[in-house]
Structures are given as C-alpha cells and as structure tokens.
Amino acid sequence: MSNLFITRPTLPQGWLLQDKKTIVDFIERRHFTEVYKLSDGDYLYLFHDAELKSKVRSRQIEHEKIVTAGKEAIGKRFQSHSNEEFTLRINRILSKSGLDAVAGMDELKQIIIRDIIHPFQHREKYKEYKLGIPNGILLFGPPGCGKTYIARKIGEELNIPTIELRESDVGSPYIHATSGNIAKAFKEALRLAPSIIFIDEISGLLPKRETLSGSQQYRESEINEFLVQIESAGSRDILVIGATNFPDRMDSAAMRSGRMDKRIFIPPPDYNARIELFKMELEDRPISFDVLPEVLSNMSDGYVASDIKLTVDNAARTALSKNTEINMMILMKSLKETKPSLSKSELNEYLSYQNLERR
C-alpha cells in the first residue's frame, strides 16, 4: 500500500480547451469519470464505480489493483497519454460531426459505412467491379428516433453538398408544378454532384398510386417522373436519401430494386445508445457527480431520443429553479414525469414494418 500515490493531475500549460476548461475537466464531464495521476506518471480514469471510488479516496486499495481497475474501465480508450495522442482524441470528441455525432446505434452505423459511405468514397474502385452507389436509401421507423438527424449526419460524413426537400417545399397545388420543382432540385444536385438529395417525409411525395382520389390522378405522372429521377440518380453521382414514418404508404414501385435500393429501419435507441444519448444531452451542463447514465438508461427502456432530450431539459429546468446542479434525484423524477412518446402498441406497429427492410 505504501506505493500508492494518486493526485488530481495538474496539466501542462497549453492544455486548456476553449472556454477555459481543462482537458481533465472535459474528460470527467464527457465520460462521467474521474481522472487521477499516479505516481508512475500514468493517468487513471475511474468510472462511477462507487466502491472503487471510495477505496481510492480512502486509499484502501493497492496501487496495482487501481491501475488494473482503471485500465479495465476507461484505460483502453486513452491507452496512450502522449500529448499529441491526447490532443488528437480530445479534438475528435470536441468536434463531433458526421456519424461520430450519432449516439450508439453501432450496428446501424456499420451498415451505413459499409453500404453508403465506402461505395461513395471509393467510387472508382467500385466502378472497376461494376458496382455503383445505391440510387436511393430509405430510412424508416418510429418518430423521434433520429431519421432526419441521421440523414443529415450522413451528408456531413460524406462532406458533399446536400439539398434538403420536404413535401411542403416542392409539393404544389398546381398541376405539374410539383414535378417541375423536383426536376429543378435534381438539376441543381447534378450541377453540384457528387451530392445528396434528402427528402424528409418522402411518403407524402411518393404515395401509393391506388390511394389517389379522382381529382389527384395528375399526381400519377408526378410520381412517375420522380421515380425516373431516382432510378438514374446513382449513375449521376447523386445519392437520394428519403425518410418516413410510414414505409407502407409509399408507392410500391418506389420500393423496387434500382430505386429505394436500401431500406434501413431506424429503431428506438437500445441500452447503449440511451447511455450515449444521456451523456450527450448532459454534456456541458452543470451536473452532479452522482449522475449515473447507465442507471438512467436502464430506467428508460422504450424512450426515444427526443424523449431523452426532453427528460434532460426538464431536469435542467428544475435544477436551475433550485439553483443546484442536475443530480440523479432530479433526473429520475424528470424521467418518471416524462412519459415515453411511443406506446407499446404503436411501437409494435412500427416494428411490424421491419420486414420492409432491405440492407
């Protein structure tokens, strides 16, 4: 026990982040951990393991054990403590953009990288094998789970111009004006290519033809025109991304091969995604050290991303009114008071669309 020397680290000059936060401060808030410096120069990151924490504080644990426990906790993430490595990693976390900014959803991100990002970034290589980029990708699933958010993050990740359309932007009560607007959007996308056309709430623009009423028959030709545009998008280096809650309302021809080639179900966040969402939402707010994102995640099964955001906002409001930090009690109370926006039966209905998925 004699060789246990832990101190709160003092950081070298120049390690202050923007807004004067120290790196340690940042790591502690972002990762819900505590940082210590060991006598051998190593840094130790302690997750909120209450037992371990109290042992460290009361110095009732041997040095080696602390190092092992620390490495098991977060040491892997920051194995190298060189100045450069540290700064690089911190910068990456600070400037979260693209898919890095999507919390959790690891399987989904892998699919997006494999099927969208790679083919787009290595188009020449893919062409050699006579493989193109997908023409269209449809993101579908229950509300508030990140379809719109993820579509925008795909654009950021690819770092190419994105034209965003909604039915209300292009839909027109005048006959044929909608097709004209869609054609204009594709023309612009072609000028900017490689580019993305992102159509939110796409089922409004591509409804099932058999559901059109007599006075809407002219929309058939609009739908046709739209389908033709989608079909040739990939060969023109345009990626069409659509998002909808109701894939079953889309015209079935839109779902055929060569159009919405990839259809990806965006599910409600799972346990790990919810942990990340809580961390993301709590980041940079005054939080108490008793906050345990794992416990909050356990308590929020069935909550979608926007519910978690609302929960944390409400907790922040309560804490502000009490002039205190956001603590676990406030968060748990807020969680109880914020009902999940999706009922079990609604969720089951959305899950039943999952068979429309095509990865």
Cα–Cα dist 132/126, whole Å: 6
Residues of 232-252 as b/e, b for ≥16 C-beta within 10 angstroms?
ebbeebbbbbbbbbebeebbe
The whole-angstrom separation of Cα 144 and Cα 165 is 19
Q: Which residues contact 292 (CB under 8 A, 6 or more apart)?
A: 32, 48, 328
Query: b or e along 293-327 (b: 16 or more beta carbons within 10 Å of the residue's beta carbon)?
Result: bebbbeebeebbbebbbbbbebbbebbeeeeeebb
Can you tell me the distance from the alpha carbon of 242 to that of 260, in angstroms, rounded to the nearest whole number?
A: 8
Site for ligand ATP contains 279 (CB under 6 A): no
DSSP state of 287: B
Which residues, listed in sequence order, are joined to residue 37 by a DSSP beta bridge?
Answer: 7, 43
Question: Judged by CB under 6 A, does residue 149 bind ligand ATP?
Answer: yes
Using rule CB under 6 A, residue 314 touches ligand ATP: no
Q: What is the largest CA-CA distance in the chain?
A: 87
Residue 137 CB: number of other CB atoms within 10 A?
Answer: 23
Q: Which of 38, 138, 145, 335 binds ligand ATP (CB under 6 A)?
A: 145
Q: Is 148 in the site for ligand ATP (CB under 6 A)?
A: yes
203 touching Mg ion, by CB under 5 A: no
Residues in region 131-160 near Mg ion by CB under 5 A: 147-148
For residue 341, the partner it binds in Mg ion, ligand ATP, none, with Cβ less than 5 to 8 A by kind, is: none
- Please state, in angstroms and rounded to a whole number, the distance separating the CA atoms of residues 303 and 35: 31
**Closest Cα to residue 151, out of 163, 142, 133, 134?**
163
**Stretch near ligand ATP under the rule CB under 6 A, chosen from 65-73, 98-106, 156-164, 290-298:** 98-106
Among 245, 272, 288, 314, binds ligand ATP (CB under 6 A): 245
Nearer CB in complex with ligand ATP: 245/288: 245
Contact between 102 and ligand ATP per CB under 6 A: yes
Q: Does 103 bind ligand ATP (CB under 6 A)?
A: yes
Q: Which span sits near ligand ATP by CB under 6 A: 3-11, 102-110, 183-191, 219-227?
A: 102-110
Q: Which stretch binds ligand ATP (CB under 6 A): 3-11, 92-100, 126-134, 301-309?
A: 301-309
How many whole angstroms separate alpha carbon 109 and alpha carbon 276? 14
Residue closer to ligand ATP by CB (options 62, 248) is 248
Query: Could you say whether residue 146 binds ligand ATP (CB under 6 A)?
Result: yes
- Please report whether residue 106 would count as binding ligand ATP according to CB under 6 A: no
143 binds, among ligand ATP, Mg ion, none (CB under 5 to 8 A by kind): ligand ATP
144 binds ligand ATP (CB under 6 A): yes
Is residue 138 close enough to count as binding ligand ATP by CB under 6 A?
no
Is 334 near Mg ion (CB under 5 A)?
no
Binding site for Mg ion (CB under 5 A): 147-148
Q: Which residues bind ligand ATP (CB under 6 A)?
A: 102-105, 143-149, 243, 245, 277, 280, 305-306, 309
